[in-house]
């Protein structure tokens, strides 16, 4: 078993949201999304992949298709396959989101995925 400290991926970029792959297998893909100021990501989605997100720090405004919610630390939500997800930082403090996707969205293994 290989372990990894998620905090190693918590880094922020002044110009844009920072996204880093935490792990990737044939069946599962995890990504850490770091947002600050007015940064956001999305819309993003995949027709055949479900996603699950958890706010690890801060607050985010999340939108899944037309449904919106303000999410705080430890809040989570499911994004069904075929839906579009958009995230924005919703506070003065930075935010960190863990995104889990199964199966991994289409694209080249190890490449930055344009979808979920």
pLDDT, one tens digit per residue, over 25-80 is 999 999 999 999 999 999 999 999 999 999 999 999 999 999 999 999 999 999 99
Strand order in the sheet with 76-79: 18-24, 29-35, 95-102, 50-57, 76-79
**Percentage, residues of the chain above pLDDT 70:** 91
What is the pTM (predicted TM-score) of this model? 0.88
Count the alpha carbons within 13 Å of 21 in the hemisphere toward its beta carbon.
16
Domain 18-102 has CATH 1.10.3210.10: no
- The ranges assigned to domains in the chain are 18-102
């Amino acid at each position: 078993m290989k372990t990894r400290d998620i905090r190693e991926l918590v880094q922020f970029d002044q110009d844009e949201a920072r996204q880093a792959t935490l792990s990737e297998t044939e069946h599962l893909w995890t990504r850490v999304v770091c947002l600050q100021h007015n940064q956001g990501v999305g819309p993003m989605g995949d027709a055949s992949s479900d996603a699950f997100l958890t706010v690890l720090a801060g607050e985010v405004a999340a939108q899944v298709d037309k449904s919106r919610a303000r999410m705080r630390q430890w809040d989570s939500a499911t994004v069904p396959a075929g839906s579009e997800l958009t995230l924005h930082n919703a506070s003065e403090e930075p935010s960190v989101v863990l995104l889990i996707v199964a199966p991994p969205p289409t694209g080249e293994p190890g490449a930055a995925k344009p979808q979920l």
